[in-house]
Amino acid sequence: MKSLERDFEKFKAGPLLPTQDRLHATLSSNGKIYLNKKLYRVLQKPAAVALYYSRERDVIAVEPANPRFPQSFPVLECRMGYRIGAGPFVGHFHIRTKNTVRFVRPDMTDSGALLLDLRNTVNVTERRSSRNGK
């Protein structure tokens, strides 16, 4: 089979499984990390998390943490899952996304930390509410 011309890019994320059947995490442009219910359960349902960043690997690590520690970020339940208000974290490390991005393969370490690879994301179309048909 002949390979495609150089001006084509292969879509590496593949098809989407239903949200409840996959580990799903996103990062919004304003610094909110969203976890679906399945990923939250795999992370052991933490009330708070510690956030780490590897500049070399461009990976965010999320680890369950004691909510009483001042550096812990609370995990809040939202409509379809859980969110972490990570604005100060992404600002400190200059992590920028133009749109909300979905992490293609959220991964768990043997010690129970979640790894989110910023080099392995796809853009997510944000739904806008329409007002007066506009």
SS3 state of residue 115: strand
pLDDT tens, position by position, 86-126 = 999 999 999 999 899 999 999 999 999 999 999 999 998 65
**pLDDT confidence band for 128 (50 / 70 / 90):** low
Domain edges within the chain: 23-123
pLDDT tens, position by position, 1-29 = 456 667 777 777 677 676 667 789 999 99
Q: Which residues are registered as beta bridge partners of 74? A: 48
pLDDT tens, position by position, 45-57 = 999 999 999 999 9
Amino acid at 125: T
In the sheet where 101-103 sits, what is the strand order?
A: 107-108, 114-117, 59-65, 48-54, 73-78, 81-85, 32-36, 25-27, 101-103, 121-123
User: What's the pTM value of the predicted model, to 2 decimals?
Assistant: 0.81
